Structure 1
């Protein structure tokens, strides 16, 4: 089920009035069909049609006593009808193009794109008239035309033998040239197709106005961490090498070795707008645990200054999840859901640098505010997967809303901005291996994304690694 590709020759070619233009639903496609090669015919016909479809192919392998066997299942939904709105005869009559190339014939065409599918019967046939074969509702049929027209899309996950999924949405112009033809078996002339031209066109995702601050849907994630080292005490803070005795005490987690306990709070986005001029918010705070019930040592609680926590590296991974529907009882949901690592980016502070130091928590507030912050498994898991909530925090070094600790907005400082083809950042951009599409759902395809981040934190020359992953929704740009 290959995608349509450009087919053009001197015999027939399609050109748009604005080459390489991307269209929105509701706009008009205009262009011309050309013929440059020699032809003489007393009666010729040139037609052009526009079709749109969503197609899925699932390859999987089963094993039995006779060995492995490969299977392929396909499904398609036709989005546009075959009537006059999407099929035009743009020329009919005699034609003469001399062989010297001194003349070229061209015929204009125009198609108005709908806002939604106009072929309810083709959609229902693609789902075998069963709702379970479609992500979008198809009952009653008259509501199908209110569905949004899906944008151009392509993905391929896995391979022919390794349970692969190929899915795409395409819109294609196809022109055909017919000449009058007389067969030796019949005296009556007939039409014979002698040339074809194909031109795929691109429908872009409908533009979305820039996200407002409260539309980023920031998610909270909290986790308790701690380090145990003699370097927490000022007299050993600058020691390059601990003594043998100190290493042994540290190795066996001796209570004689000072410990600092703190919570890490990460505010990460649940919605990301592609092409946004505003950087992706990614805010990090370290909250000391200085209460009597916490594990922080007395000598650390008595320090005049709370130990500094710094971010020394950050890694982000975007995973794309593709789900498809096929009308096959042999497949169902077993082979129709694949998640693939789509993009990976890492940032590390240079050797010798202290990294991004998180704002120092006011120790006069630490015991009071820290005692009630991040308690319980519920708060620790907040922000994981479906636990995305509202709320925001300040930028680097500033205090957050009431009850929130000061945080550092690493996303703003690094200038993290997701574009369809790259991640732009200070020192970037980082190219993606494929096009990053907005999340969407159509009849037989659903595309969603996950964001995984991983940070390495440094405290008193000790390192701690923290990570989390959660669903994130990518939305289209405004322009």
Structure 2
């Protein structure tokens, strides 16, 4: 059961009112089926149906025998139940050629068809109360970069034009649709920041008062090779606040707050209680999207897609943090770097799209974010790294209310 692809020919095509392709459960789809070519043997009516399904495909390695695909699929909307028989209206195009048009109005249900669930194939649920019971799930697209694995929920309109004397529909048109989340999704105002602590240390003579800008000459560096080392070790802690929730298409940058606190008991005497300056000079943030699936024969699988949100981004000018022991306001590195989930351009062909967190009957989609902060302290480079489980919400749909 391959994914439904757009299909339109002069013999049969579908167009919707306002060229709209995204709907909410409960909305009415208004449009028409039409053709511009003449088919003398065609019946004077067409069928149009709304269909929905979920599918998982995962490849497993069989060693020397190569790999085999495992699948799990489920019909969400029964095409026979959401089907209309339409009679045509004949009009004329600008050049006078015949145009045959069949108008329709289909209501999108708010729940999954119970009778459709009974015709499931290789269906193994994660849990009995998954996906808010029988609420019609939103569309979901999740594939690997190579296209070998699949996990998706799709909806589409299909029109069939019977041909006289034939037992099958000789002409077919398909128009994919996007079903948006049915629940009200307000604009996110709280990123539920989670604080992480990273202890670092630097040993540099430039931390000593009066030597902040000292550049030793060649002879001085040579003398240091044989002279006793000056103990000038600074130990400090970076308190990093990482969001645990973000929202797609948000106008607000993703926050990443950083605060420095000295660890005087682990700092050498010569610079103890001396305020130091920490410069954040670079940021690297990677978003990992994990798709876990359950297939036939109770096989489990998962794959990860990664996308950089800030790939080795130099901060110019660097962000300065005072490490003095006094409690100060944290620096928002994320806002300064304009950290966001990239939006797909209309002409861009992406290998995969960032989808919100998703839980279906046979797969789950989740995220985590990995970060790296590059700092300069006393002319020496140090790096703080970490990761955080991240929940991604769908875009806000409050504007439609």
TM-score range, shorter chain: 0.7 to 0.9
Instruction: Please name the residue that 2:256 is paired with.
Output: 282
For 1:372-383, list aligned pairs within 5 A.
Answer: none
> What is the DSSP-based 3-state SS (H/G/I as helix, E as strand, rest coil) of the residue aligned with 1:7?
coil
1:41 Cα offset (Å): 4.7
Runs of 4+ in structure 1 over 6 Å off: 95-98
1:136 Cα offset (Å): 4.2
- Render the CA deviation track for 1:310-368: whole Å, top value 9, x for unaligned: 10000110011001111214xx22xx111222334232035xx5x1001x2554x5xxx
Listed as ranges, the gaps of 5+ residues in structure 2 are none
For 1:45-444, list aligned pairs within 5 A.
Answer: 45-63=45-63, 67-84=64-81, 86-91=82-87, 102-118=97-113, 120-126=114-120, 133-137=124-128, 146-157=133-144, 159=146, 164-181=148-165, 192-206=168-182, 208-213=185-190, 216-241=191-216, 243-244=220-221, 248=225, 256-290=230-264, 294-303=265-274, 306-329=275-298, 332-333=299-300, 336-346=301-311, 347-350=313-316, 353=317, 355-358=318-321, 360-363=322-325, 365=326, 405-418=328-341, 420-421=343-344, 434-444=352-362
1:420 Cα offset (Å): 4.7
CA distance in 1, matches of 2:258, 2:357: 26
> What is the DSSP-based 3-state SS (H/G/I as helix, E as strand, rest coil) of the residue aligned with 1:434?
coil
RMSD over equivalenced CA pairs, Å: 3.0
1:283 Cα offset (Å): 0.2
- Render the CA deviation track for 1:122-174: whole Å, top value 9, x for unaligned: 33542657xxx112426xxxx989433222222222658xxx42122111111
Judging changes above 3 Å, is the alpha-carbon distance between structure 1 residues 235 and 62 closer, same or farther for their aligned structure 2 residues?
same
Contact 1:420 1:435 survives alignment (8 Å): no
- Render the CA deviation track for 1:105-132: whole Å, top value 9, x for unaligned: 10111111122212x3433542657xxx
TM-score, normalised to structure 2, is: 0.87
1:300 Cα offset (Å): 0.7
Judging changes above 3 Å, is the alpha-carbon distance between structure 1 residues 137 and 12 closer, same or farther for their aligned structure 2 residues?
same
Instruction: Please name the residue that 1:372 is paired with.
Output: none
CA distance in 2, matches of 1:144, 1:285: 39
- Render the CA deviation track for 1:284-317: whole Å, top value 9, x for unaligned: 0110112xxx2211121253xx011110000110
CA distance in 2, matches of 1:470, 1:315: 14
Give 1 or 2: higher strand fraction.
2
Judging changes above 3 Å, is the alpha-carbon distance between structure 1 residues 43 and 406 closer, same or farther for their aligned structure 2 residues?
closer
Contact 2:144 2:352 survives alignment (8 Å): no
> What is the DSSP-based 3-state SS (H/G/I as helix, E as strand, rest coil) of the residue aligned with 1:40?
coil
1:90 Cα offset (Å): 0.9
- Render the CA deviation track for 1:375-432: whole Å, top value 9, x for unaligned: xxxxxxxxxxxxxxxxxxxxxxxx6xxxxx531112223333335538xxxxxxx997
